[in-house]
Structure formats: structure tokens, C-alpha cells
Amino acid sequence: MLEIINLKARIGDTEILTGLTLSVNVGEVHAIMGPNGSGKSTLALVIAGHEDYVVTDGTVRFMGEDLLALDPEERARIGLFLGFQYPVEIAGVNNAYLLKAALNAKRRAQGEAEVDAFEFLKLAREKMALLNMDPALLNRGLNEGFSGGEKKRNEILQMAVLEPRLAILDETDSGLDIDALKAVAKGVNSLRDPEHAIVLVTHYQRLLDYVEPDFVHVLSGGRIIRSGDKSLALKLEEKGYDWVREAASA
Amino acid sequence: MNTTAIDTGLLERAVDKLPADALMPLRLKALRSFSETGFPTTRHEDWRYTNLAPIVEVSNLWLRDAAAGIAEATINDAAINDAAMEYASELASRIDAYWIVIANGMVHKASLTRLAGHALRGFDAVSLAGDDLMQPASGDDPMTRFNTALLRDVLRMTIRADNTLEKPVGLLIFDDASDGAALSQTRVIIETERNSRAEIIEYHASSGGHPHFANAVTELDLASGAAVNYVRIQNRDTAHFQSGRLMARLHRDSTFRHTAFDLGGGLIRNDVDVDILEPGASVELYGLYLASGQQHIDNHTRVDHRVGPAASTEEYRGILGDRSRCVFNGKALVHRGADGTDARQANHNLLLSEKAEIDTKPELEIYADDVKCSHGATVGQLDKSALFYLRSRGLDRDEAAQVLTRAFAATILAKSSVQAVRNHVESLIDQRLQTLAGGLS
């Protein structure tokens, strides 16, 4: 589904991704872990198409297409979703309006009929109930005055409504209390089936207690230096990132 | 001949050609004081960024005809009334209000009857006489003097004590320049008696292919406990000019909310002057200006806090495209002894083009000790991270840009609590934003 080969990317004069290779198949859940500054968020933003990052080498294929040739909106419409580490607040853009516009943009692109206001509300309310979200948040400005936890739940709500083929969640677990973490995990697990794939970008192992990954990768210095199963995450928690770095350079 | 000044010789002869009615003594007095100063120039601090030369030019053109006694050729009241009434009925189908039509400065008599039986009284110059006519005339600036010197009619309206109007009063100020360069002087005087509550809509529109300068002056007096929610919508032809001045006087515990939408016009200057005369008054001033092409829109506001406690809040927002130019100057003047004053000002601008220009200056002058004041201004482009966020959700670049500009404008629309105009103004804003977004890269 997602095939990244030798990806190199920089922002300004700083090279951040230095030759990253990763393959994600449909139905899989991957966790990408790594210390601060290792390039985790950059990887997520490059895949989503952020214009500040320049890809200097390598290829990224998604659903058989050359992903790097597509605009961010085209990537979204073929089923890519990025859950932001820092979701933006936009006063005056209604949360429900954006959610419906996003859903219909995707449905149009995939040749499906648009949903009407009634169908949309039914769907949104159903997903909000799953995430224990206050339905009133639907009528607020996008993330306007939301708490940190509400913003992250809102990202997961968008994911749940859009049902992307591949969801990349960038530190969605950071700054969440245990209830919010469980709600987010519930949302993520609801997307987990043989039709979809999920990449969790995270600093800590905590989320992985609730969403069990099939694969764990360690990112350091802009590339993946070690891959394994879920036991790797536990070992990291115990021994720290220096252990992998030393092992990799040995 | 000096083309940057009004030809006062022509002005004198034009005034002389007007009917010898109850307004004449006022005209002559205003003519004398206007002649001493003429129009302000960019050497005046308050007019630094707004050059009135195009307005002087169209004024002199019209004055030449008026002085020769052929002004009637360019003020065809009957024809204008037809165009104005057509516009008014269209507007009335969209906004439910007691509509009064003022066409090229003349009050449409029949529309005055709409006020009868609604805790309202309305008069025009013919039904009033002498001293009653202009009270509480308070303006003493060149534009108001020019307005008075050439005045043909006045609308004077009273909202009776302890009454709440069921519907807004709508003033359609319609000007037409189909038959040649034209000038119009509109004068409105509104008195709200104690504890009355009213919503007022001042709607400016124009038609005709020739140059036009509309000079409108509104005086508003709020008695103790009165509450006025005022909306001004300026939707003139983009080739036409306007100077609009609103002077509000606030007495004890009165509440004044003013929301201004500038959507059209070529060269536009608005002045809102609020005078807080007694304690307990509350003032809110909001404005939204959308400019494209070569439009020039200048908003000046001034709040005089003469006594405290009293509060004034102000927020103006602008969206500028193409080569448009806008000016914002908001002044709060806290006089000596006006303790307990709370004055806030903000001006935010979105520039959609590198060639657009905004000159913004929130100003505070404080001569009292116990006050809370704040002011700030921002000028920026569309937020890049917000654009990326929306695109990552599947909205294309244009759609994302339009959603963001709309959101920027929506905060001012939300401030206007006159529900009757909400949908109409929203659709006007959407239309304008589509023009503006057309210039986006």
C-alpha cells in the first residue's frame, strides 16, 4: 500500500530524512518511534505533502501512484490521512462544515455521491459517541478553544468519518490523559481491519498498550535503524534510545 | 483654476439657485464657514492617506451646471425615484424593515407613512420649519458644512420613549448618475427618546455610468437608557465616491452598537464620531471592508470619553486584493476626569495581493488616571499552516483560501446582532470574496 524507498528530504539547508525505507501493507499497524529530532514528524509531513519540505531523493508510492507528484488534497482524496501533532485552530470555520466538505471532496474524487446534511449528521454523531465527544463541539469553530485532548479527539473524529485507507497519526497520544488516550485508541482500533492500514508516530510506548502494532520501527538520524515486533517497543521503554543507536553503530 | 479645491464662486451661485425655503439661512451660514476652509487636503493629519481630488473634480463639474441653473438636468427626481423605488422593493423582499427611501438627497414622502403607528415619527424638510429643522446639529467639519450648504431635504426621525421597534428602520440612500456627473447631500437626524430600543439599517447604493459623489451625514442622539443597534451597508457602484459621517451623542446608560460593511464604492471615506456625554454608556464599533481593483476605502472612528464609567470596544477587519488601498484610524480620547473608562481597539487586515496597501493607526489619547485601554493592529497573509491543514483534508487550494477568507470576515458578521440583514449581508460578502479570491495565486 505504501512503499517508501531511500527517501531524503530537507527543510532549508538541513537534511532531515537521510535515506528512509519503509513498506506498509494493507491491514497492518506500524509504530514509528524515535527520539526528538529524529525526523518522525518530518516523515509524516512529507508523506502528506507539506510544501516547506523538499524531497531530494527517493520514491514514495501509495496505492500504486507516485505520491510525491500529487498535491496534498489529491493525496487526501485517494485515502491518505494525517492526524496532526498540532492541529490548527481556525475561528470562523465551523467544525461540522469542514468535516462535511472533507468527506464530500473525497467522495466526489472517488466517484461516490455526496452525503446530504442529514446523512452527515447521523454519521458524525455516531462517530462522536464512539469517541466520547461532546456533540456541541461539532458546531464550534475548528478546534477553537478546544483543550489539547479535544483537539486530538477531533483529529480522530475526522479520521473515523473519512475512513482513510492509510492513517498516519503524528504523536496523537502526546499530552493526553488516560481517558482521552483510551478514547483515541478506541477510534484507531475501529479503523483496524483488512482494508486499512495505520502508522502511529509516537515518542512513548504508552499508546501501544491500547493499540497493538504489528511492526515497530526505530527512527534515528533520518532513517530507520531497527525494525521488529511489539517487543521492540517494550525493550526501548526499558533500555532507552541510546541502546538501539549503539547497537546499530556496532 | 485650482483643480484641487472646490470653486467657491460656483458653490455660491449654486446655493443661490436653491429654493428660498426654511433651509436657506442654514445653507448660507454653512456656505460662509465652508468657504473659509474648503475640503481638507492630504496635509491634514486626518486626511493624510485620502486624496479628495477626484471628488473635487466631480463636484466642480456638477457645480458648474448647478450654478448655471441646469442642475435639474442632472437631478431628474422622477427618474431617480423610479430607479430608487425599484431598488427599494427588491431590498424589501430580502430585508424585513420599515424602509424609507432617500434618493439623491430627497426624502421619498410616501415612504415616510410607513413609520406611522410604529412608535416612530418621521419628517422631511417641507413638513418642518426653521429652528426645529436641524437640531441637534452638532457637526462642524468641512464635509458637514458642504453638506449643509447644498442641502435640499432632511429626514428627521424620532423613536418614542419606552418603545421597542418590532422591525428595523431601513434607510435606503440611493443615488443615481445616469444623466451626467452628480452630487448628492443626504442628511438624516435620528433621536431616540429615553429607554427606547431600535435597530437601524443605513443602506447605500448607486447606479448610473457618470461620476457621482454622495455626501451623507447622519446625526444620532441616544437619550438615557436608549439602545440602538446600527448597521451600515455600503454597496455603491465601484466607480462612485462617498463621504459618510455618523455623529452619535450618548447619554446616561445608553447602548450603541455600530457595524459597518464596506463592499462597494470607488473612493470611500467613513467617519464615525461617538461622544460619550454621561456615565454608563456602552459603545461597540465593528467594521468589515472588502476592497479589490483600485478601490480606496478609508474608515476613521473617534470615541470621546468625556465622562466615566463607560466602555468602548472596537474591531475593524479588512480584506484587500489587487491594487486596492485602505485606511483605518481609530481614536479613543479619554478626557480629564473620565475615570472608569474601558476602551479597546483592534484592526486586523488580510492582504491577498502584494500590490494592496493598508495604513492602519489605532490611537489612544488618555488624560484620566483610572482607565483600562488597549489597542492593536495586524496585517498579514493567509496562514500557511491553516491552508495546509485544509488541503490535507481534501479541499483544493482555492477552496481552502476561500474558506479562510470567509472565516476572517465571519467574525465581524457575527458581531452584528441585526438578524434581519444577516443572510443578505452574508451573500453580499460571499459575492465580493469570490471576486477577491479570483486574484489569488
Span A172-181, pLDDT tens digits: 988 888 988 9
Give me the residue from A72, A91, A93 closest to B392, CB to CB.
A72
What is chain A's alpha carbon radius of gyration, rounded to the nearest angstrom?
Answer: 18
SS3 A93: strand
Residue B360's pLDDT band (boundaries 50, 70, 90)? very high
Asked whether the predicted pLDDT for residue B3 surpasses 60, the reply is no
Give whole-number Cα distances, A18 to A8, A43, A56, A85, A142, in Å: 5, 11, 10, 22, 35
Strand pairing class (B227-234; B197-207):
parallel
DSSP string, B260-315: EEE---SEEEEEEEEEE-STT-EEEEEEEEEE-TT-EEEEEEEEEE-SSSEEEEEE
- What pLDDT does A91 receive? 86
Give whole-number Cα distances, B2 to B7, B44, B314, in Å: 8, 18, 39
Cell 472596537 belongs to which residue? B314
Q: B352 near B321, Cβ under 8 Å?
A: yes
A76 with B394: Cβ contact below 8 A: yes
**Cα of A169 to nearest chain B Cα, Å:** 13
Give whole-number Cα distances, A71 to A48, A61, A77, B392, B393, in Å: 9, 14, 10, 9, 11
Give bridge partners of residue B318 from the DSSP assignment: B289, B349
Give whole-number Cα distances, A165 to A28, A181, A194, A214, B268, in Å: 11, 22, 10, 17, 53
Asked whether the predicted pLDDT for residue B2 surpasses 50, the reply is no
- Any chain A CB within 8 A of the CB of B172? no
Cell 477531533 belongs to which residue? A154
Give bridge partners of residue B428 from the DSSP assignment: none
Q: What is the DSSP letter of B18?
A: S
Q: What is the mean pLDDT of residues B362-391?
A: 94
Asked whether the predicted pLDDT for residue B441 surpasses 50, the reply is no
SS3 A81: strand
Burial class (CB within 10 angstroms; exposed 0-12, middle 13-18, buried 19+) of B178: middle
Pick B133 or A242 by higher pLDDT: A242
> In chain A, which residues have their Cβ closer than 8 Å to the Cβ of B406?
92-93
A49 with B394: Cβ contact below 8 A: no
Asked whether the predicted pLDDT for residue B116 surpasses 90, the reply is no
Asked whether the predicted pLDDT for residue B135 surpasses 70, the reply is no
- Domains assigned to chain A: 2-86+146-249 (3.40.50.300)
- Any chain B CB within 8 A of the CB of A90? yes
> In chain A, which residues have their Cβ closer than 8 Å to the Cβ of B393?
73, 76, 98, 101-102, 105, 158, 162
Point out the least confidently predicted range of A68-72, A179-183, B235-239, B263-267.
Answer: A179-183
Q: Using one digit for the tens of pLDDT, what is the confidence trace for A74-85? A: 999 999 999 999
Query: Which strands, in side-by-side order, build the sheet including B212-222?
Result: B120-123, B155-159, B182-192, B212-222, B241-250, B267-276, B296-305, B325-334, B357-366
Pick B78 or B368 by higher pLDDT: B368
Residue B131's pLDDT band (boundaries 50, 70, 90)? low
Q: What is the mean pLDDT of residues A41-46?
A: 96
Q: Which of B382, B390, B399 to mutate to test the interface with A (most CBs of A within 10 A)?
A: B390
Task: Tell me the helices (H) and strands (E) count for chain B, helix number first.
Answer: 10, 19
Q: What is the mean pLDDT of residues A225-241?
A: 89
The contacts of residue B241 (CB under 8 Å, 6+ apart) are B54, B55, B58, B211, B212, B213, B214, B265, B266, B267, B268
Average per-residue pLDDT in chain A?
A: 93
Give bridge partners of residue B382 from the DSSP assignment: none
Q: B424 near B95, Cβ under 8 Å?
A: yes
- State how far the Cα of B54 lies from the Cα of B294, in Å rounded to an integer: 13
- What pLDDT does B325 receive? 97
Cell 479570483 belongs to which residue? B438
Grid cell at residue B336: 480629564
For chain A, helix, strand, coil in percent to 5 are 40, 30, 30
Burial class (CB within 10 angstroms; exposed 0-12, middle 13-18, buried 19+) of B1: exposed
Average per-residue pLDDT in chain B?
A: 91
- Any chain B CB within 8 A of the CB of A105? yes
- What pLDDT does A236 receive? 87
- What pLDDT does B132 receive? 62
> In chain B, which residues have their Cβ closer than 8 Å to the Cβ of A141?
407
Grid cell at residue B330: 481609530
Asked whether the predicted pLDDT for residue B85 surpasses 60, the reply is yes
- Any chain A CB within 8 A of the CB of B388? yes
Asked whether the predicted pLDDT for residue B128 surpasses 50, the reply is yes
- Any chain B CB within 8 A of the CB of A158? yes
CB atoms within 10 A of CB B167: 16
Q: Using one digit for the tens of pLDDT, what is the confidence trace for B241-258? A: 999 999 999 999 999 999
Give me the residue from A82, A91, A106 closest to B407, CB to CB.
A91
Burial class (CB within 10 angstroms; exposed 0-12, middle 13-18, buried 19+) of B140: exposed
- Closest-CA residue to A166 (of A41, A56, A61, A37): A61
Q: What is the mean pLDDT of residues A179-198?
A: 92
Q: Is the peptide bond before B309 cis (omega within 30 degrees of 0)?
A: yes
Grid cell at residue B193: 427618546
> In chain A, which residues have their Cβ closer than 8 Å to the Cβ of B390?
93, 98
Question: Is the ipTM here above 0.90?
Answer: yes
H/E run at residue A74: helix A72-77
B393 with A93: Cβ contact below 8 A: no
A101 with B391: Cβ contact below 8 A: no
Residue B134's pLDDT band (boundaries 50, 70, 90)? low
Q: Which chain B residue has its CA at the smallest distance from A79's CA? A: B394
**Cα of B392 to nearest chain A Cα, Å:** 5
Q: Using one digit for the tens of pLDDT, what is the confidence trace for A113-124? A: 999 999 999 999
CB pairs under 8 A between A and B: 75
Packing angle between helix A95-109 and helix A117-130, nearest 10 degrees? 110
Q: Which of A62, A67, A110, A142 to mutate to test the interface with B (most CBs of B within 10 A)?
A: A142
Q: Which of A88, A99, A157, A165 to mutate to test the interface with B (most CBs of B within 10 A)?
A: A88
Q: What is the mean pLDDT of residues A21-38?
A: 94
A90 with B392: Cβ contact below 8 A: no
- What pLDDT does B76 receive? 58
- What pLDDT does B75 receive? 57
Q: What is the mean pLDDT of residues B73-101?
A: 83
- Any chain B CB within 8 A of the CB of A129? no
Give me the residue from A51, A71, A102 closest to B393, CB to CB.
A102
What's the full length of chain A, in residues?
A: 250
Q: Backbone phi, then psi, for A31, in 5-degree steps? A: -115, 130
- Any chain B CB within 8 A of the CB of A54? no
> In chain B, which residues have their Cβ closer than 8 Å to the Cβ of A154?
none
Give me the residue from B393, B406, B409 closest to A76, CB to CB.
B393
> What global pTM score does this model have?
0.87
